[in-house]
Amino acid sequence: MTESTITQLQPMPDDWQRALAVVAHPDDLEYGCSAAIAAWTEAGREISYVLATRGEAGIDTVEPERCGPLREREQRASAAVVGVSAVEFLGHRDGVIEYGTALRRDIAAAIRRYRPELVITLNHRDTWGGVAWNTPDHVAVGRATLDAAGDAGNRWIFPELVEQGLEPWNGVRWVAVAGSTTPTHAVDAAPGLERGIRSLLEHRAYIEALTDEDPETYVRNFLTGIAREVGKRFGDKPAVAFELFPR
């Protein structure tokens, strides 16, 4: 393919005020997406995080009872760096999240509580591209989030939510999937990149267990590398890509 035939990514819509990000684990948003979150909160938008698990199975050397609270603290600090103060944990078990109505209901309930116009999630497809296999938790939560955007608007799908006072919210206009193998849209990462780097660095215990490299060097190289790669399809500006599903 020549330069001119590489499909360019479209700019993300910006006529919205509230977004809700729903992912499986602490760090899922920080591995690429949080530069976009930082840019959006800087522009005055409200963004909240919902995590299906506390990531308690994420560090081989730390048992889950200690790991869960540690990673929850790191996630809250990480969110604060990019201007996000509402962080909820749904308490599903890390590594064995089951796709199904219980997960859809929990996410639909969160969508009704936060009433977002934009919902953000992480790659729900089998792979990260080629033969890089995705994890079952990401697939389950990504799919359930795409489904729950519809469930949230239908009062008859989970009537128990209405009984709990959660009225239907049919205002989700898009679900944006980060880390998708087939992105369609992008957002300029430049204004949020430094804070995105610092937000991933807050997952220090996780990163130190993951690599022997200096954490800041590892994080900076990783995130600027992805942003530059996406930017080749977005006017050569560092960018964060999303696959956008309008509703």
* Sheet bearing 174-178, strands edge to edge: 10-11, 185-188, 239-246, 174-178, 118-122, 18-23, 46-51, 87-89
Task: Return all residues near 85 (Cβ < 8 A) that are at least 6 apart.
Answer: 79
Q: Which is nearer to Zn ion, 18 or 125 (CB)?
A: 125
- Interacting stretch for Zn ion, rule CB under 5 A, among 25-33, 93-101, 142-150, 223-231? 25-33
CB 223 within 8 A of CB 35: yes
Least distance between Zn ion and beta carbon 28 (Å): 4
Provide the phi-psi class of 145: left if phi over 0, else alpha when psi is between -120 and 50, else beta: alpha
Under DSSP, is residue 21 helix (H, G, I), strand (E, B) or coil? strand
Instruction: Report the length, in residues, of the chain.
Output: 247
The DSSP code sequence of 205-224 is HHHHHH-SS-HHHHHHHHHH
Which one of 25, 113, 185, 198 is in contact with Zn ion (CB under 5 A)? 25
Q: Which stretch binds Zn ion (CB under 5 A): 21-29, 111-119, 149-157, 225-233?
A: 21-29
| CA distances (Å), origin 247, targets 84, 108, 121, 134, 223 | 25, 15, 15, 25, 30
Supply the Cα-derived Rg of the chain in whole angstroms: 17
Residue facing Zn ion at closest CB distance = 25
Residue 78: other Cβ atoms inside 10 A: 26
- Of the candidate spans 18-26, 64-72, 180-188, 199-207, the one that interacts with Zn ion by CB under 5 A turns out to be 18-26
Supply φ then ψ for residue 178, to 5 degrees.
Answer: -85, 150
**Ramachandran area for residue 174 (φ above 0: left; ψ -120 to 50: alpha; else beta):** beta
- Least distance from C-beta 27 to Zn ion, angstroms? 6
Answer for which of 19, 21, 22, 28 binds Zn ion (CB under 5 A) is 28
- State the number of binding residues for Zn ion (CB under 5 A): 3
Beta carbon of residue 76, minimum distance to Zn ion (angstroms, whole number): 17
30 binds Zn ion (CB under 5 A): no
**Residue closer to Zn ion, measured from CB, 24 or 223:** 24
What's the closest the beta carbon of residue 158 comes to Zn ion, in angstroms? Answer: 26
Footprint of Zn ion on residues 200-229 (CB under 5 A)?
none
Judged by beta carbon, residue 25 or residue 195, the one nearer Zn ion is 25
User: Footprint of Zn ion on residues 50-89 (CB under 5 A)?
Assistant: none
Q: Which is nearer to Zn ion, 91 or 246 (CB)?
A: 91
List interacting residues with Zn ion (CB under 5 A). 24-25, 28
